[in-house]
Amino acid sequence: MDPRIIAVSIFALLIGIRSFRKKRSTPPGPAGLPLIGNMFDLSKRESWQVYLDWSKRYDSDILTMKVPGAQFFILNSATVIQDLLVKRSNIYSNRYVKDALRTDTLCRIQTSWLIPFMNNTEKWREHRRLFHREFDTVDASVVNKAHEVQAARRLLRRLLTSVDHEGELRLAAVDAILSITYGISPKDLNHPFIKAPEDLNTIFADVARGGYTVDVFPFLRHLPTWFPGVEFHKTAQTGTTLANILLMGPYVQVKTEMAKGTAVSSVASRFLSAVQDGTISETEQDVLRNVCGNAYLGNLAVCALYNFVIAMALYPEVQKKAQKSLDTLLEGNRLPDFNDFSDLPYLSAVVNEVLRWHPVTPFAIYHVSTEDDTYEGYHIPKGAMMIPNMWAILHDETIFGPDTHKFIPERFVKADGSVKLDLSELDLAFGFGRRACPGRRKFCYTLWIMAASLLTAYTITDPCGMDGSVLTADSHLEYTNAMVR
């Protein structure tokens, strides 16, 4: 054979092997242990910072880790997240695949009505469409905002006599969402509707951080319930009960109140009236009932309310500045309402900074890919778990300016005093692409009215730790490693 042909063939073969290798190569990441892979690496303390440090060590914004049955990709920059979860959201909008790691405990809890766990299907799209219609449109927000103002006023009134300030914030967050959704306003923390979403969110958070051995070794699910160490059976049972309280408890109460003619106007009462009038189908009724249950579970908003209070106590000069803008506008004559929104840009900047400073969901919720993909030469297989390090991008100094670990609302203020981003535009704090949080606009307004009301009536001082020690802006605040913190 002609030696030139042989040389060309070998060259072509080498190029082929190289490009195949490149296509199949995986991003860098820490080497795991035999059998369990990176199980311990995935649940490091303050893992958002650990993952970011690894990005520097491995010189890559995308990292990979493996545990039996699943491969995770950590996305550590806004560019990678934008490229994959937003621009390719047709591929990266699924959730946990059935029977994959970590889903075992969840599968036992009745979660089919929970939007965050639905796969990218028509059912999920219909739920999101109706969620938007009921909570996000201009018409809906007029009624919803009236409820939010009332919930904020009730908080101020309770704080006059209560000493359990933390409990009052928890109550206020549930009060706001329950009154918008069901017209129900719990009077105290013993109300059965207060604890259910908190406990269910705790179970989901435990599952998400791999708290159950069955998620790693699925064969354990075949062991009988009395067997030591199979506590997940009990957790799953508790979770199912809680999920039912969430979905059916307030919904049934509204139905009963409507029958008695005592129901307060709410999302649920409006659609139940439409059912009585025969203007919506039974399927739509079921979807709307689920949508209400999802909004109720979204009460994780309380974590952001805590962060607001902590920030005000640690940064008194910020608090004073926000209070001054409120006092100048209200002149001590009245409490704020949503008509004041555009006149208080600094307060909007404070709320933006609360969401950025300590994001409530540092890793959003994992997205799952539905087909094989290639990115920057790396192979990403179908079923890969994509973990966006939201904390990392919200602390990226190239996006938000210097000292991102400090609470500086001025980073959101333009030279003319107006706010850089409208509240609802701080999208980075609310997830990505098609799965971005549908409650974000509604929630931003809840936080805004609570913040405005609190700062008008009270001054938050004397920050101290659990052990009574005095905290300052330089103290290290420890956050849990959960999906929601």
CB burial of residue 465 (10 Å; 0-12, 13-18, 19+): exposed
In the complex, minimum distance from the CB of residue 390 to ligand HEM, in angstroms, rounded to a whole number: 6
Angle 460-466-470 from CA coordinates, rounded to 5°: 55
In the complex, minimum distance from the CB of residue 393 to ligand HEM, in angstroms, rounded to a whole number: 12
Residue 345 or residue 439: which is nearer to ligand HEM going by CB?
439
DSSP annotation of 33 reads B
In the complex, minimum distance from the CB of residue 340 to ligand HEM, in angstroms, rounded to a whole number: 22
In the complex, minimum distance from the CB of residue 301 to ligand HEM, in angstroms, rounded to a whole number: 5
Cα separation, 273 vs 29, in Å, equals 55
Lookup: tokens for 370: 């539905």
Burial profile 245-281: b = 16 or more Cβ within 10 angstroms, e = fewer: bbbebbbebbeebbeeeebeebbbbebbeebeeeebe
DSSP three-state, residue 396: coil
Question: Residue numbers of the site for ligand HEM (CB under 6 A)?
Answer: 115-116, 128, 135, 294-295, 298, 300-301, 304, 360-361, 364-365, 367, 429-432, 435-439, 442-443
Q: Residue 454 — φ and ψ, nearest 5°?
A: -60, -45
In the complex, minimum distance from the CB of residue 329 to ligand HEM, in angstroms, rounded to a whole number: 26
Residue 30 or residue 431: which is nearer to ligand HEM going by CB?
431
Annotated binding site: 437
In the complex, minimum distance from the CB of residue 365 to ligand HEM, in angstroms, rounded to a whole number: 4
Residue 104 or residue 134: which is nearer to ligand HEM going by CB?
134
Cα separation, 119 vs 138, in Å, equals 28
Residue 101 or residue 365: which is nearer to ligand HEM going by CB?
365
Cα separation, 354 vs 312, in Å, equals 10
Residue 294 or residue 481: which is nearer to ligand HEM going by CB?
294
Half-sphere exposure of 433 (CA within 13 A, CB side): 25
Annotated binding site for heme: 437
Report the interhelical angle of 301-314 vs 165-182 (nearest 10°). 140
Cα separation, 225 vs 362, in Å, equals 34
Residue 72 or residue 135: which is nearer to ligand HEM going by CB?
135
In the complex, minimum distance from the CB of residue 324 to ligand HEM, in angstroms, rounded to a whole number: 26
In the complex, minimum distance from the CB of residue 180 to ligand HEM, in angstroms, rounded to a whole number: 8
Token pair 């893992």: residue: 47
Q: Which residues, 6+ apart, have CB-to-CB distance to 288 below 8 Å?
A: 130, 134, 267, 268, 271, 280
Phi-psi region of 14 (alpha: psi -120 to 50; beta: other; left: phi over 0): alpha
Residue 144 or residue 325: which is nearer to ligand HEM going by CB?
144
Lookup: tokens for 113: 């009505």
Token pair 């908080």: residue: 155
Lookup: tokens for 336: 């704020």
Residue 230 or residue 447: which is nearer to ligand HEM going by CB?
447
CB burial of residue 139 (10 Å; 0-12, 13-18, 19+): exposed
